[in-house]
A and B are shown apart, each in its own frame.
Chain A
């Protein structure tokens, strides 16, 4: 454990959280529309995984904001995307669920549950074929581990022996349905363990996530084989901006919040003198400014011209 890592963790987690809180606010003001899936509470999982994985290619489902931020994509481009502006990372055509940036090896932002997992197997295959060594990581929710896409991908990744990290963020719920009501296993890593090495970790602890993912990265690169991590985490907010039913008890939410990943990090880091109060305050200020600038950028950016509707359908336009 070192100081600079702890500093990075704090910066990205704080940036991710403030970004989403602000996105929530802007949604309520009507500046953002559609579905807005927030990952508040899951920052330890998202930031730890991205930083732990380092270089390489990355796929995720629609709960993609904090991953994109940890990946280093500018909050300005992301906020502008949420505002539907032409300056957004997907030109305002994708919105919250569809952040794409090939420059950052970030392949979405997919809104069809489980559909991106086979893509990751395919990309890992291509990497292996082309002799490139960076691995591929695919993040997905607990809900997708019951789909055919998931099982087919486990099998094929093992058959092809590709450098792919399956990263399952188990927040226990798929919308309003708790995982144990629709899955034969509550411990999801068990679904993978006959195909590859599969482990379960505490996703509320960014250090643990980071450590597990970086070890996994080493493994897939050196062995050229797939690997499976299940991170246990929790989303504080509704599935999207609103849930239409009650399915979680306030008590459950309270217990989860006691393990808040940011508080958790600070507690540990202060105890081991990895972070100082001054540093944290400085980051808070910096983050506040960055978010303010991102919103300003989004507000001041133009909407796409109407012709944009017909663009980007084919490469040859």
Chain B
């Protein structure tokens, strides 16, 4: 029969312990009450005995490992017979989970039940009630609270919030009031300052004159972006500018310019491994294939999904991939893999008529190419490189080869 040795609770408050040393090895015979392991708790190191005679069949927690109280640390095969040789190893056992405190959900439920009861009781009361502060406030403003409550214009019990809402609604129309809530504005003061003349125009003039700002929450995606960009800004970066010849591509109607650009970049990246590096956790991750992320903007959001293994893909395939990613962006329905594996990025503002710009490298990427508008068969590209990954010479060679490839008619014609 197998018996689990679990992490013992050695003090009143102990939650977990660290295995300091096993005093027995697998296969050893252990007598009841004989120490088998040393455990470190917040207070001290203690020896823990076996509770049964048997053979230490398997040690589940290594020395130095921290284990929660109640979790198994070894398996003992209960036997009174001292073995002569070490026993044959049997298969690992299914390990049952520790005895947990199954309390909280029940108690929380109970507590909220009690809460509900109280709520029901108080809801039954429908007299004209008001908090001391609500009363004080309505007295200050000089309106008949009780009467208004009986008419149903102010709820009961009334709180500060109800009084203010009522008061404001007397002066300011509903929509304006709703909009005002977004401003960092003291409405009490507004009413006082504008005495009587609380027309919409007047209110917004007041807001402008006093430089009152609107407070806007930052959407989660934006917060994430801010975080990311702030990190990118700490990276040592250098730039290379180059005008690239698109004449050989412009007359191709079947595939878009972006598709060609991706393909050509991918091919060239194959000859420059440093552009295929992602800098992660103090190590270089060198990817064998060319994986490029493309910036896609939808409304106010910006996504940079990655197309992978581009060098092996046909132009048609690349174009389809781009389309799929754009659709995913519209629905905001990406898979996590869509953002993994990239090492280089491309951003294009040409469609907005921008001549030349400078883009920020996605954090830990080797670089990014910022592409402007096509003019007379040329585009301006500003390359930014992460100096931690690639140095000036390697970057220059990369850009040089790119340039040559765009000029190379034979090569471009061979692309499929």
Please list the residues of chain A having a beta carbon within 8 angstroms of any beta carbon in chain B. 21-22, 25, 27-31, 33-35, 241-242, 244, 306
Alpha-carbon separation in the docked complex, A182 to B41 (Å):
31
Whether the pair B99, A31 counts as a contact (CB closer than 8 A) is yes
Kindly state the separation between the CA atoms of A25 and B98 in the bound complex, as whole angstroms.
14
Central interface residue in A28, A35, A242, by most chain B CB within 10 Å: A28
Whether A30 lies near B12 (C-beta < 8 A) is: no
Determine the chain A residues whose CB is within 8 A of the CB of B279 once the complex forms: none
Q: State which residues 11-35 of B face A: CB under 8 Å.
A: 11-12, 33
Q: Is B12 touching A33 in the complex (CB atoms < 8 A)?
A: yes
Closest residue of chain B to A242 (Cβ to Cβ) is: B11
Question: Can you spell out 9 A-B residue pairs with CB atoms less than 8 angstroms apart?
Answer: A27-B8, A28-B10, A29-B70, A33-B12, A34-B12, A241-B9, A241-B11, A242-B10, A242-B12
* Residues in B whose Cβ lies below 8 Å from that of A28: 6, 8-10, 48
- CB pair B9 A244 closer than 8 Å: no
State the CA gap A34–B9 with chains docked (Å).
Answer: 11
Whether B44 lies near A30 (C-beta < 8 A) is no
User: Known interface pairs A27-B9, A29-B9, A33-B12. Does A242 touch B46 (Cβ–Cβ under 8 Å)?
Assistant: yes
CA distance A274 to B52 in the complex (A): 29
Interface contact A21-B12, CB-CB below 8 Å: no
Main secondary structure on chain A at its contact with chain B? Answer: loop
Most central of A30, A34, A241 by chain B CB within 10 Å: A30
**Interface size (B, Cβ < 8 Å)?**
20
Q: Does B189 contact A (CB under 8 A)?
A: no
| A-facing residues in B56-101 (Cβ within 8 Å) | 69-70, 98-99
Report yes or no: B11 in contact with A29, Cβ–Cβ below 8 A.
no
Taking A28-B10, A30-B69, A242-B10 as known contacts, 12 extra A-B pairs with beta carbons closer than 8 A to each other, sorted by chain A number, are A22-B51, A29-B8, A29-B9, A29-B70, A30-B99, A33-B12, A34-B12, A241-B10, A241-B12, A242-B41, A244-B43, A306-B107
A30 engages B70 (CB within 8 Å) = yes
A29 near B43 (CB under 8 angstroms)?
no
Bound Cα distance A27, B41 (Å): 15
Residues on A with C-beta less than 8 A from B301 are none
Q: Which residues of A contact B69 (CB under 8 A)?
A: 30
Report yes or no: A21 in contact with B51, Cβ–Cβ below 8 A.
yes
Q: Which chain A residue shows the least CB distance to B71?
A: A30
For the complex formed, measure the closest distance between the CB of B106 and the CB atoms of chain A, giving whole angstroms: 8
Q: Specify which of B12, B41, B99, B110 is in contact with A29 (CB 8 Å cutoff).
A: B99
Q: Which residues of A contact B8 (CB under 8 A)?
A: 27-29
Residues on the A chain within 8 Å of B44, using CB:
242, 244
Residues of chain A contacted by B99 (CB below 8 angstroms): 29-31
What's the Cα separation between A22 and B49 when bound, in Å?
12
Contact with A along B262-273 (1 / 0, CB 8 A): 000000000000
Residues of B near A21 (CB, < 8 A) are 33, 51
Chain B residue at minimum C-beta to C-beta distance from A34:
B12
Give bound CA distance, A27 to B12, whole Å: 10
Contact partners of B70 in chain A: CB under 8 A: 29-30
Which chain A positions have C-beta within 8 A of B33? 21
Cβ-closest 8 pairs across A and B: A28-B8, A25-B51, A30-B70, A242-B11, A30-B9, A30-B99, A242-B10, A244-B43
Q: What is the minimal beta-carbon distance from B94 to any residue of chain A, in angstroms?
A: 18
